[in-house]
Amino acid sequence: MAMGTVTAPWKQLLLNALESNANLKHSSFFQLATIGSNGRPSNRTVVFRGFQENSDKIQINTDCRSRKIEELKHCPFAEICWYFTDSWEQFRINGRIDVIDGSNSDPMKLEQREKAWFASSLKSRLQYLGPLPDLPCLSEQPSQEFSLDPSTGPVDAFCLLVLDPDQVDYLNLKSSERLTFTSRQSVNEEKCWTSKRINP
């Protein structure tokens, strides 16, 4: 039996999974698949940076010079695959990604980007000062050390990705429970979710 709801019912399942797997450092890592400009799938592991305030939108930090940015400009749709090893739960989260770099014209989005920057560790921020990703290494020497004032705002290479989910597939391998969640826009422009229990 399908049921409709305004709040995302899968979000609490995900928060519960994060809590029950909190002792595992890798529980904050998931795979993000995009579509390459050649039409082939492109996949990588990224870090969960939390939900955007009061929403079900998922935040990911990345380098605006990375290949995934070009892929998302070519096709903004992506899918997350997130497996929790302690609780045997898998979430596949499909949606559209908003790419927020320093050239964005929306002050609210630029503020979100800045918040994401300062929420990251200094070590994480230093990665965005490194050489261009995907280019050959020209030196055998380790890359040079960079320093950054902790109060300095986001550097040009820092980019915030915000995935707005529209489909979620939840699988619990311990209980053999599988649920699908699908969203649509309601008449008052709110996202409305329906859920359905399906065979695993």
pLDDT in tens, 18-62: 999 999 999 999 999 999 989 999 999 999 999 999 899 999 999
Q: What is the mean pLDDT of the chain?
A: 91
* 106 or 6: which leads in pLDDT: 106
pLDDT at 1: 42
pLDDT at 182: 97
Domain 3-128+153-198 fold: Pnp Oxidase; Chain A (2.30.110)
Residues 152-166, mean pLDDT to the nearest whole number: 96
| Residue 132 pLDDT level (bands cut at 50, 70, 90) | confident
Distance between CA 121 and CA 100 in Å, rounded? 19
Residue ranges of E strands in 58-157: 58-63, 77-84, 89-100
CB 120 within 8 A of CB 47: no
CB 79 within 8 A of CB 92: yes
Q: Which of 171, 28, 23, 38 is nearest to 93 (CA)?
A: 171
Q: How many helices (H) and strands (E) does the chain have?
A: 4, 9
What does each C-alpha distance from 134 to 33, 113, 131, 151 come to in angstroms? Answer: 17, 24, 9, 29
CB 54 within 8 A of CB 122: no
pLDDT at 105: 95
Sorted by sequence, the CB contacts under 8 Å of residue 48 that are 6+ apart come out as 18, 28, 29, 30, 58, 59, 60, 82
Q: Is the pLDDT of residue 149 over 90?
A: no
HSE (side-chain half, CA atoms, 13 Å) at 92: 7
pLDDT at 4: 46
Distance between CA 74 and CA 119 in Å, rounded? 29
Chain Cα centroid distance, residue 15: 15
